Structure 1
Amino acid sequence: MVAQTDVKSTRKDATPSLTERLQLEVDRAVQRGLKGVELLGAPPPAVGRTPKTVIYRRGTLELVHYRTSLDEVYRVPILVVMAPTNKAYILDLAPGQSLVEFLLGRGYDVYLIDWNAPTDDERDLIIDDYVLDFIPDCIRRVQHRSKERDITLLGYCAGGLLSVIYQTLHADGPVKNLVCLTTPVDFTKMELFRALSDERHFDIEQFVGKVGVVPADVVIAGFDALRPVSRVAGQLRLWDNLWNDQFVKGYRMMERWGNETLPLPGGYFRQMTQELLRDNKLFEGTLRIGGRIVDLGDITVPLLHVIAQYDHIVPPQSAQPLVERVGSLDKEELMLPGGHVSIAAGANAVKRMWPKLDSWLEGRSI
C-alpha cells in the first residue's frame, strides 16, 4: 500500500501545474521572438558535409566520390543518380541525418551524380543525353577509379527514372543491382502534374522556345501547386517551434534545399512533359530513346524499389508498375510510411529505409 501511495504521489508531482504550463508558454514565446530576430541575418545552414572529391565535371554534370575511413569496403561500388531538378545534398544533410554517411559507415564505396544549373548551351539536352551519355560516362569513370566492373545503380525520383531507362538499354552492361527510390512509371496516376501540363492550357513548344532553360522558379511553382498551402503551413510550424533549436535546424536545411531547386534544360522539360506526362509512353511501351524502344521487361538484374506511402509527388500507384513489369527474378517492392523526401532523408528514414537498404545490398555487393 505504501508503494502505491508513493507512485501516485510521484505521478501527481510530475504533472505540470497551470502556473508551470503558463510559464513554459511564456518562456517559449520569448524564445520565439529572440530566435526570430537571430534568423533574420543568419547564414544558410551548412549541408553536404561528408568529405568528398569531385572527380569529373562537364556542364550540368558533376560526379563525386565520397571518402571513407574504412580499410575494407564492399566490392561493388554504388553510383547514386539524383533527379536533375534537385541538389543531391538532401541525401547528405548533416551528420547523423545523411544516407551517404550511413552507407559509408556500413562499408559501401559511394559515388554520386549531382547536377548543376544547365548553361544556355545545354538548353537542348534531352533524356537521351542523360541515359546514353552522362550515366554511361560516369559508370566508366567509377569502374576506372574503383577497378571494378560491376556497380550498383541507385536512383532517386527522376534519377530513378533515368536509371531505369538506362538499364533497359544496357541490359548486358555493368549494373549488377538496381535500386530505385520513389520512381514514377505510370504517369496517368500523377494527376496534378498532368493537369498542370494539360496542352489545352499550356503550349510546351512556345514556352520552351521562349525560355530555353526552364527557370527554377517555374519548377518550384509546379511542386508548390501540388500542395498549395504546404509552404504557409510549414512557416506556421516554424513559428510554433522557434524555441526548439533542433526543429529550426532541420526546417532551415529542408528550406534551403527546396529553395535551391535547379532550372532544367528546355529539351528535357519538353520531352518529360510531352512523352511521359501527356503520352505516358514509358508505361505504354512506346517510348523511344536513341531510336530504341524502352521495354521494362528488359531489366533482369536484382531490383529494389522503395515507395513512399504518402508521396504527393510520385503517388504509390504511379510507382508500383515498375516491379510488376521488369523481367528480374530477384525483385522487391518496399512501401514504407513517409513522404517523397522523408522516405530518404527524414528522421524515420534512419530507422526504416536505411537499414532495409543495407540488408538488401550487403549480400549483393560482394
Structure 2
Amino acid sequence: MMPTAEAFALPDIRAEIERAIQRNIKGLEFLTSAAPAVGQTPKDEIHRRGTLSLYHYRPLVDELYRVPVLMVMATTNRAYIFDLAPGQSMVEYLLLKGYDVYVMDWNAPRPDEKRLRIEDYVLDFIPDSIRRVQEDSGEEDVTVAGYCMGGVLSTLYAALHPGGPMKNLALFTTPVDFSRMKLFHAWSDRRYFDVDRLIDTVGNVPPEMLFASFDMLRPAGRGAGVVQLWDNMDNDEFVKSYRMFDRWGAEMLPLAGEYFRQTVKELMWDNKLHKGELELGGRPVRLQNIKVPVLHALAQHDHIVPYEAGQPLIAGIGSADKEEVVLKGGHVSLAAGPNAVRRLWPKLDDWLGVRST
C-alpha cells in the first residue's frame, strides 16, 4: 500500500509544531529575563561635566599606536553603540588592533542645560575633551571619529580649528546637505512645526518625541522587527543582538532645547552648513578649512542619513587626503553589530593605522 500525502506531510507538521513550542518557551524567557548587558569593555571615566562623560578604555595590547582616538557620539543616544558586547564592539576591535580609545558619551541634559547650543558642543565640550585626551595620553595629536550628528559636531570643530591638534577625522553617516533628509523635513515642516513654541514650553526635548520621529521614518519598521524576532526566537544569537539594539534605540536621550531649536532652524530649515552660511560664536564655518586626512563612511541603506545628504562632505572639504566609502548596511548596522566587524571596522583600521604613527 502506497503512503498517503498526509503521511509524507506528518514529519514536517511535527517539526513545525515542535519549533512553535520552542519559540513559545523562548518567548517566555525573552519577556521575563533581564535586559542584556552592554558596554562591558573596561573603561575609566576621566572627566564628567553636566551632560558630558569622557571615558578612557583600558588598553588590551602592549603596543599602541601613537595617536589616540576620540570618538564622538550623537547627543541623542548613548555611546555604548560603539561597545555593544564582546565580539560586537568597535571599541574592543580598535583596542585589540592597538589603538588608544577615548569616547565622549552623553547623559540626559539637566533642566538648566536647556540653553546649550551647537557652539557649546563645538567650541567647548569637544576642545575640552581633546585637551583632556592630550593630558591623559601624553600625545599632542588626536584622531577624532564622529557618528551621525556626532560627526557633524566633529566636522564643525575641524572647520573652526584648522591649526588645532586634530590629526585625522573619521566620520560615519554624517549629513551635510540637510535638504536631502526628506522625511525629517516632512515632520519638521516650518509651515506646521512651531519649534519656538515647543522649546519655550518644554525646555529640553523629551526622548519620547524624538523616538516617535525616528519611528515615523519607517512606520512599519517596528512591527516588521517584532515579526522577524518571533520568526527567529529559537536563534539565541539573533535574539541577543535584537535585544541589545532594541535597548539602545529605546534609551534615547532628551535634547538640549536651544541645540534642537538651532539644529532645526539653521541646519534643517536653512541648510546653512551646506550653503556655507553657518556661523558659530561669530565665526564662519568653512568646510574647505579642513585640511587633515578625512574618511567618511556612508551606508547603502541608510534611511536616516541618505547617501545624498552625506555625499557633499568629501567634495566640500579642503583636505588633499580624503576618502568616501559606501558600505553595505543601514544607519546603525554600518557601525555596530555582526556585519560591521567585516565591513566598516577593517576599513577604519586600514585607513587609520598608517595615519596614527
The alignment status of 1:180 with 2:183, answered yes or no, reads no
* More moved, 241-250 vs 76-85: 241-250
SS in 1 for 2:33: coil
Q: Distance in 1 between matches of 2:318 and 2:166?
A: 15
Deviation of 1:64 after TM superposition, in Å, equals 0.2
User: Aligned match of 2:145 in 130, 142, 154?
Assistant: 154
Deviation of 1:290 after TM superposition, in Å, equals 0.5
| Cα pair 2:304 2:331 within 8 Å, conserved | yes
TM-score, normalised to structure 1's length? 0.94
Q: Which residue of 1 aligns with 2:103?
A: 112
Q: Which residue of 1 aligns with 2:19?
A: 28
| Cα pair 1:311 1:339 within 8 Å, conserved | yes
Within a 5 Å distance, the mapping from 1:256-295 to structure 2 comes to 256-295=247-286
Deviation of 1:21 after TM superposition, in Å, equals 3.4
Q: Distance in 2 between matches of 1:19 and 1:69?
A: 54
Q: Which residue of 1 aligns with 2:220?
A: 229
- Which 4+ runs in 1 deviate beyond 6 A? none
Deviation of 1:20 after TM superposition, in Å, equals 4.1
| Cα pair 2:158 2:290 within 8 Å, conserved | yes
Number of residue equivalences: 350
What amino acid is the match of 1:314?
V
The alignment status of 1:59 with 2:50, answered yes or no, reads yes
Deviation of 1:184 after TM superposition, in Å, equals 0.2
User: Aligned match of 2:195 in 171, 196, 204?
Assistant: 204
Within a 5 Å distance, the mapping from 1:184-195 to structure 2 comes to 184-195=175-186
Gaps of 5+ in 2: 1-7
Q: Which residue of 2 aligns with 1:346?
A: 337
Deviation of 1:19 after TM superposition, in Å, equals 4.3
Gaps of 5+ in 1: 1-16
| Cα pair 2:89 2:337 within 8 Å, conserved | no
Q: Distance in 1 between matches of 2:242 and 2:195?
A: 34
Q: Which residue of 1 aligns with 2:87?
A: 96
Q: Which residue of 2 aligns with 1:76?
A: 67
Q: Which residue of 2 aligns with 1:12?
A: none
What amino acid is the match of 1:195?
A
Deviations 1:223-264 (A, max 9, x none): 111001101110111111111111111111111001101110
SS in 2 for 1:104: helix
Q: Which residue of 2 aligns with 1:38?
A: 29
Deviations 1:138-164 (A, max 9, x none): 000000000000010000000000000
SS in 1 for 2:179: helix
What amino acid is the match of 2:302?
D
Deviations 1:108-146 (A, max 9, x none): 000000000000010010100000000000000000000
Q: Distance in 2 between matches of 1:27 and 1:141?
A: 57
Q: Which residue of 2 aligns with 1:337?
A: 328
Q: Distance in 1 between matches of 2:19 and 2:89?
A: 30
SS in 1 for 2:46: strand
Q: Distance in 1 between matches of 2:9 and 2:113?
A: 63
The alignment status of 1:253 with 2:244, answered yes or no, reads yes
TM-score, normalised to structure 2's length? 0.97
SS in 2 for 1:62: strand
| Cα pair 1:29 1:243 within 8 Å, conserved | no
What amino acid is the match of 1:155?
G
Q: Distance in 1 between matches of 2:349 and 2:259?
A: 33
Deviation of 1:364 after TM superposition, in Å, equals 0.2
Q: Distance in 1 between matches of 2:287 and 2:140?
A: 23
What amino acid is the match of 1:82?
M
SS in 1 for 2:84: strand
Q: Which residue of 2 aligns with 1:215?
A: 206
SS in 2 for 1:249: helix
Q: Distance in 1 between matches of 2:272 and 2:202?
A: 25
Deviations 1:71-111 (A, max 9, x none): 11000000000000011111111110000000000000000
SS in 2 for 1:306: strand
Aligned-residue CA RMSD (Å): 0.9
| Cα pair 2:48 2:54 within 8 Å, conserved | yes
Q: Distance in 1 between matches of 2:15 and 2:323?
A: 48
Q: Distance in 1 between matches of 2:12 and 2:166?
A: 58
The alignment status of 1:304 with 2:289, answered yes or no, reads no
Deviation of 1:40 after TM superposition, in Å, equals 2.0
* More moved, 38-47 vs 260-269: 38-47
What amino acid is the match of 2:160?
L
Q: Distance in 2 between matches of 1:254 and 1:342?
A: 9
SS in 2 for 1:341: coil
Deviation of 1:18 after TM superposition, in Å, equals 4.6
SS in 1 for 2:334: helix
Q: Distance in 2 between matches of 1:49 and 1:72?
A: 22
Q: Distance in 2 between matches of 1:73 and 1:23?
A: 56
Deviation of 1:346 after TM superposition, in Å, equals 2.7
Deviation of 1:58 after TM superposition, in Å, equals 0.6
